[in-house]
Copies of this chain bind each other. A is one copy, B any other.
């Protein structure tokens, strides 16, 4: 279903390494807060102004988050049933530590009074710094230059640093810098948008203790239900200027430290504010206070410059392993780097947190982790920062017991069923037709584990974590599937929902069945392999989870008999048993304003039609790429393209990949362009509520798996690069089995260079290529 393209009208200046805003505009402020968000996988803060915001309602949302720091909220059902998720977990909006008010004599600085003479804001993707420069003329005529730099430290996981500098241009007088830590916070709610939570209202953080001493303020709060503590602190260091007085104040849970400067015309005043967030689910409750003191002490000693340097080092390493270069399209170049940077900012690295649908930039989807991680985001990390991929997968292991309990509740049997959406591992989906019914989550997680193992060869991970997950999750397929009654000996899976959420509770969803088959095959093969190669580890797991040989035999039998429906006449795989029977959605009579359909039509109305929100069969074609011929892929792509709205941001990148693979580079590029700057240009229309992490990773997949045709399998890694007409060429980097390879695709040739590692064999198309250190290869390019 090809809808009219949206016009790309970017708010930001095009630049290869920076996102630049050259004027302040309340109309785009909400979006900019998301775009200029900073994070380090633990802390995330939205790009709102230090000085607060006095603009129109609905054009701003303050936000400070800790990955996985949540409140537990009971889910209310008007009509409830057995096994429903009982509670949801909501990532909390935490105390705002970035607040700084500026006062010139008796005038308070605001972007909405006086005159803004100069303004620039930029996010530096190489340095991990957000900078803002403003020249402001107050209503009474005082002129100041305000320079602010901000970072969320990649070196110290709880730390936010702000350097706030003011220079009076045409006056002497008292300048006050009023720094605040505002503990009066609550989450947003939206009753009419299913993508935003509705359950948590009002302030849930209760004051436990607060303290102000010298230049430091500390605020200890605890959540009402989940009983997690967060210690928010701020410390101030005057770097330039004459401080004449300091006044500390407390208003409820708002802590204020006011610095008075005797300012002189042309002389810069500068103060560094360190904000620290510590949490009782990482640091033991009784050690929060002293840990904060120790970190602040270090910050005092090391200063801004040290953390700035560390920031640069971490990002140098990051870009070294993942940078992409797009020849001939600076917009795309900027969009892709922006996406990768935000992925890096969003991913949890501690093995007990993950990556939320909106990263740490907003409250949409309540900060929950979805299959987005395994199918869209982890692949990016597997091939660029495998250590992060491993941490994200370890997270799933850390919640395996929750998944076991869920299986016990639902089936009263052994095994593990992962939740559709969660923070701590408990099912938080209150709408089971597009939640619990998406059993494919089990196969998705296993798919990512397998990809990780193939790309890294990290057997230790499989042995210590992966195998247990793979076996426990495999069990579920035998509970929800059954050999058909019609004596055809097919193994069928009834009443499930596949990835496409515009179709629910169907039988033999193709994606689910195909992924389950792959999962069961892998589980059975792994059991066999482990029993031979690592029998001690296998025996340990076997005993722990009471795994019988008969079970493994059943897995193999079910995989062998798995029903994978095919419509021979159309030459395609029906999305499910009844999908092709249903009438096609009346696209012609659906006004453009009625998309996304989910906001304008009842689920039943959507479900009873052939209409897809996102890639479903097409996703299977990609993930299980070696099981389908090019002709099959083309036929399916062509069919599903006609009935897919791409209302989900997880859709276009997959269609782009299969379009590229089947030779329709124009369509591939079109989808790619719609996602590459999805959040930067707010193409989905809701980026102000936070970034779309899966789509961001999807653009990387579109490039690397799409245009460059990267695929991995047991036999190795393969590339089949193509260049869409609109581009001159591109390059990217890949980490594979200890090697880091830079691949440049140009019109006439493809170059490969080893940046790290001892060398490897890879496939260029079907041709094996040996790559050695310091011996770049230049191969003539064979198109298509």
List A residues at the B interface (Cβ < 8 Å). 75-84, 88, 191-192, 194, 197-199, 409-411, 429-433, 436-437, 480, 482, 484-486, 492, 494-495, 504-505, 507, 577-578, 580-583, 598-605, 607-608
Copy number of this protein in the oligomer? 2
Taking A486-B581, A577-B578 as contacts, is the C-beta distance between A605 and B78 under 8 angstroms? no
Taking A79-B429, A80-B192, A507-B578 as contacts, is the C-beta distance between A602 and B198 under 8 angstroms? no
Are B436 and A583 within 8 A (Cβ)? no
Considering only CB atoms, which chain B residue lies closest to A569 in the complex? B486
- Which residues of chain B are within 8 angstroms of A83 by Cβ–Cβ distance? 601-603, 605
* Complex alpha-carbon distance, A505 and B608, angstroms: 9
- Which residues of chain B are within 8 angstroms of A410 by Cβ–Cβ distance? 602, 604-605
* Complex alpha-carbon distance, A599 and B81, angstroms: 7
Taking A599-B82, A604-B432 as contacts, is the C-beta distance between A198 and B77 under 8 angstroms? yes
* Complex alpha-carbon distance, A582 and B506, angstroms: 12
Are A198 and B76 within 8 A (Cβ)? yes
Are A581 and B82 within 8 A (Cβ)? no
User: Distance (Å) between the CB of A71 and the closest chain B CB?
Assistant: 14
Taking A433-B433, A581-B492, A607-B505 as contacts, is the C-beta distance between A602 and B82 under 8 angstroms? yes
- Which residues of chain B are within 8 angstroms of A603 by Cβ–Cβ distance? 81-83, 432
- Most chain B beta-carbon contacts within 10 A, residue among A76, A197, A607: A76
Are B480 and A608 within 8 A (Cβ)? yes
**8 nearest A-B residue pairs (beta carbon):** A83-B602, A78-B430, A495-B608, A494-B608, A482-B583, A79-B431, A495-B607, A505-B505
Taking A578-B578, A604-B432 as contacts, is the C-beta distance between A81 and B437 under 8 angstroms? no
Are A191 and B577 within 8 A (Cβ)? no
Are B75 and A75 within 8 A (Cβ)? no
- Which residues of chain B are within 8 angstroms of A430 by Cβ–Cβ distance? 77-79
* CB pairs A–B below 8 angstroms (13 shown): A76-B198, A77-B198, A77-B431, A78-B198, A79-B430, A80-B191, A81-B598, A81-B603, A82-B600, A409-B602, A410-B605, A495-B607, A505-B607
Considering only CB atoms, which chain B residue lies closest to A601 in the complex? B82
- Which residues of chain B are within 8 angstroms of A505 by Cβ–Cβ distance? 433, 504-505, 604, 607
User: Distance (Å) between the CB of A575 and the closest chain B CB?
Assistant: 14
Considering only CB atoms, which chain B residue lies closest to A411 in the complex? B605
Pick the contact of A431 from B78, B436, B480, B580 — CB < 8 Å? B78
Q: Is the interface of A mostly helix, strand, loop or mixed?
A: loop
* Complex alpha-carbon distance, A504 and B504, angstroms: 11
- Which residues of chain B are within 8 angstroms of A495 by Cβ–Cβ distance? 582, 604, 607-608
Considering only CB atoms, which chain B residue lies closest to A507 in the complex? B578
- Which residues of chain B are within 8 angstroms of A494 by Cβ–Cβ distance? 578, 581-583, 607-608
* Complex alpha-carbon distance, A411 and B492, angstroms: 34
* Complex alpha-carbon distance, A626 and B160, angstroms: 78
Pick the contact of A80 from B194, B480, B581 — CB < 8 Å? B194
- Which residues of chain B are within 8 angstroms of A436 by Cβ–Cβ distance? 602, 604
- Which residues of chain B are within 8 angstroms of A79 by Cβ–Cβ distance? 194, 429-431
* Complex alpha-carbon distance, A253 and B197, angstroms: 39
* Complex alpha-carbon distance, A574 and B583, angstroms: 22
Taking A410-B605, A504-B505 as contacts, is the C-beta distance between A199 and B78 under 8 angstroms? yes
Taking A77-B430, A78-B430, A505-B505 as contacts, is the C-beta distance between A485 and B581 under 8 angstroms? yes
User: Distance (Å) between the CB of A648 and the closest chain B CB?
Assistant: 15
* Complex alpha-carbon distance, A199 and B78, angstroms: 6
User: Distance (Å) between the CB of A83 and the closest chain B CB?
Assistant: 3
- Which residues of chain B are within 8 angstroms of A192 by Cβ–Cβ distance? 80
User: Distance (Å) between the CB of A364 and the closest chain B CB?
Assistant: 12
User: Distance (Å) between the CB of A228 and the closest chain B CB?
Assistant: 21
- Which residues of chain B are within 8 angstroms of A598 by Cβ–Cβ distance? 81-82
* Complex alpha-carbon distance, A482 and B605, angstroms: 13
- Which residues of chain B are within 8 angstroms of A482 by Cβ–Cβ distance? 582-583
* Complex alpha-carbon distance, A598 and B598, angstroms: 29
Considering only CB atoms, which chain B residue lies closest to A493 in the complex? B608
* Complex alpha-carbon distance, A603 and B435, angstroms: 13
Considering only CB atoms, which chain B residue lies closest to A504 in the complex? B505
* Complex alpha-carbon distance, A78 and B578, angstroms: 29
User: Distance (Å) between the CB of A689 and the closest chain B CB?
Assistant: 15
* Complex alpha-carbon distance, A600 and B409, angstroms: 10
Considering only CB atoms, which chain B residue lies closest to A84 in the complex? B602
* Complex alpha-carbon distance, A394 and B199, angstroms: 40
* Complex alpha-carbon distance, A144 and B562, angstroms: 78
* Complex alpha-carbon distance, A577 and B505, angstroms: 14
Are B484 and A581 within 8 A (Cβ)? yes
* Complex alpha-carbon distance, A437 and B582, angstroms: 16
* Complex alpha-carbon distance, A598 and B83, angstroms: 10
* Complex alpha-carbon distance, A78 and B492, angstroms: 32
Are A197 and B78 within 8 A (Cβ)? yes
* Complex alpha-carbon distance, A148 and B744, angstroms: 97
Are B437 and A604 within 8 A (Cβ)? yes
